[in-house]
């Protein structure tokens, strides 16, 4: 028994002392690695990663078998490969940085979340549903982006200022054929149509079906760099779809779209209510009551 105890004690002595900060650091690194892997699987980098793993396996074999010439060549190539990868995947890196930059840190410390962004009301959801399926019948193409937590001010600046209350009639008129505002996307913040003819980044995801047009690629593209919800009406088929988190979801009827939007914006409202400052202020209020 003493031998086992001594062996366990000696074995543990080889491990460094781990405190709370080390655990936090490990969790942060694990989260960053997870986000990077998630990002890689959604871009062309996933195909590249598989190729790099093959090269890595080949390098290990060359090292074991002492293929010195091959190792020398691979070593020289590696010095250039890093720069080449940055150039080749510049668009993906730009999107990743855009997604990071769109995170509005002020929302965490906001005294009043409504000062930053208004909640999407039930009446607005109803107007969006009516507009989408009214335009679906005559196959009027539409692209409606609804801002959530991530700021889309950069997208707003690419369009024409509207600042009108959301209504199905206004949306239908905007996307009507041969009207000055029908090209591009409409941006909605809260219960307001902020701007029209907005330019959206196109998705470069290689897994997207080639049957999808520019409008659908733009919807997926903006959902890749923000948490926005985008409603798309196809000009070819009249099909209504929703883009969220880099995915395109087909909607069968108005009731399904209404339920999906209600759930999504209810979740957003709940997240906003749980901001750090709101909790602190609530705690202080309870202390005063006591």
The domain that contains 191 carries what CATH number? 3.40.1700.10
Residue 6 is assigned to a structural domain of this protein = no
DSSP bridge partners of 195: 161, 187
pLDDT recorded at residue 140: 92
**174 in any annotated domain:** yes
- CA–CA gap between residue 212 and residue 223 (Å, rounded): 15
Q: Are residues 76 and 153 in the same domain?
A: no
88 and 155 in a single domain? The answer is no
**Same domain (yes/no): 263, 171:** yes
Considering only CA atoms, which of 146, 197, 192, 142 is closest in space to residue 172?
142
pLDDT tens digits, residue range 12-27? 555 566 778 888 888 8
**Mean pLDDT of all residues in 83-101:** 69
Domain count for the chain, please give it: 2
- Residue 163: Cβ-neighbour burial (10 angstroms; 0-12, 13-18, 19+): exposed
Residues 234 and 126 in one domain: yes
* The last residue of a domain, from among 66, 101, 136: 101
Identify whether residues 76 and 124 lie together within a single domain.
no
Lowest mean pLDDT segment, chosen from 16-20, 127-131, 187-191, 253-257: 16-20
Kindly tell me if the per-residue pLDDT of 223 is higher than 80: yes
Is 207 a member of any domain?
yes
Classify residue 172 by burial, with Cβ atoms within 10 Å: 0-12, 13-18, 19+: middle
DSSP assignment letter at 232: E
Instruction: Out of 101, 135, 170, pick the residue that ends a domain.
Output: 101
Residues 74, 139 within the same domain: no
Q: Is residue 282 part of a domain?
A: no
Task: Please say if the pLDDT value at position 130 is more than 90.
Answer: yes
Flag whether 184 is in a domain. Answer: yes
Q: Could you give the count of Cα atoms lying within 13 Å of 207 in the half-sphere of its Cβ? A: 12
Same domain, yes or no: 35 and 134: no
* 249 and 147 within one domain: yes
pLDDT (tens digit per residue) in 132-190: 999 999 999 999 999 988 888 888 989 999 999 999 999 999 999 888 888 899 999 98
Output the pLDDT for position 144: 95
What is the model's pLDDT at position 143? 95
Give the pLDDT confidence of 34-78 residue by residue, as tens digits.
877 776 665 556 667 777 788 888 888 888 888 888 888 888 887
Instruction: Answer yes or no: are the C-beta atoms of 184 and 159 closer than 8 Å.
Output: yes
Of residues 6 and 231, more confidence is placed in 231
Q: Which residues, other chains included, contact 162 with Cβ-Cβ below 8 Å and sequence gap of 6+?
A: 174, 186, 193, 194, 195, 196
Summary count for the chain: helices (H), strands (E): 11, 7
240 inside domain: yes
- What is the rounded average pLDDT of the residues 84-100? 69
Confidence grade of residue 269 (pLDDT, cut at 50, 70, 90): low
How high is the pLDDT of residue 267? 63
281 falls within a domain: no
Predicted pLDDT of residue 81? 76
* The pLDDT of residue 185: 94
Domain residue limits at 33:
17-101
73 and 131 fall within a common domain:
no
Residue 6 has pLDDT above 60, yes or no: yes
Are 135 and 193 part of one and the same domain? yes
Count of beta carbons in the 10 Å neighbourhood of residue 242: 23
* Position 108 pLDDT exceeds 50: no
Same-domain check for residues 137 and 71: no
Asked if residue 156 and residue 72 are part of one domain, the reply reads: no
Mean per-residue pLDDT for 85-113? 60
Portion of the chain with pLDDT greater than 70, in percent = 72
Does residue 70 lie in a domain region? yes
- Residue range 118-130: average pLDDT? 84
- Picking from 71, 101, 131, the residue at the C-terminal end of a domain is 101
Question: What confidence score (pLDDT) does residue 111 get?
Answer: 41
What are 49's strand-pairing partners? Answer: none
């Amino acid at each position: 028994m003493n031998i086992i105890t001594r062996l366990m004690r000696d074995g543990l002595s080889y491990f460094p002392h781990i405190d709370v900060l080390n655990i936090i650091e490990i969790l942060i690194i694990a989260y960053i690695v997870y986000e990077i892997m998630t990002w890689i699987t959604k871009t062309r980098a996933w195909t590249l990663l598989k190729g790099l793993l093959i090269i890595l396996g080949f390098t290990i074999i060359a090292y074991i078998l002492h293929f010195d010439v091959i190792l020398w060549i691979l070593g020289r190539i590696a010095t250039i490969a890093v720069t080449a990868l940055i150039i080749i995947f510049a668009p993906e890196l730009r999107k990743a940085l855009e997604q990071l930059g769109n995170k509005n840190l002020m929302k965490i410390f906001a005294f009043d979340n409504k000062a930053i962004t208004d909640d999407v009301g039930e009446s607005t959801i109803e107007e969006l549903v009516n507009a989408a399926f009214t335009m679906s019948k005559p196959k009027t193409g539409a692209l409606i982006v609804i801002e959530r937590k991530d700021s889309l001010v950069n997208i707003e600046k690419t369009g024409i200022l509207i600042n009108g209350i959301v209504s199905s009639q206004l949306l239908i008129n905007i996307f009507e054929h041969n009207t000055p505002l029908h090209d591009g996307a409409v941006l909605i913040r809260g219960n307001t149509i902020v701007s029209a003819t907005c330019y959206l980044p196109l998705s470069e995801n290689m897994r997207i079906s080639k049957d999808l047009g520019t409008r659908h690629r733009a919807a997926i593209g903006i959902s890749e760099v923000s948490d926005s919800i985008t409603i798309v009406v196809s000009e070819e088929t009249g099909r209504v779809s929703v883009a969220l988190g880099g995915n395109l979801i087909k909607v069968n009827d108005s009731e399904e779209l209404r339920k999906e939007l209600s759930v999504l914006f209810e979740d957003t409202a709940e997240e906003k209510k749980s901001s750090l400052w709101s909790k602190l202020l609530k705690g202080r209020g309870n202390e005063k009551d006591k």
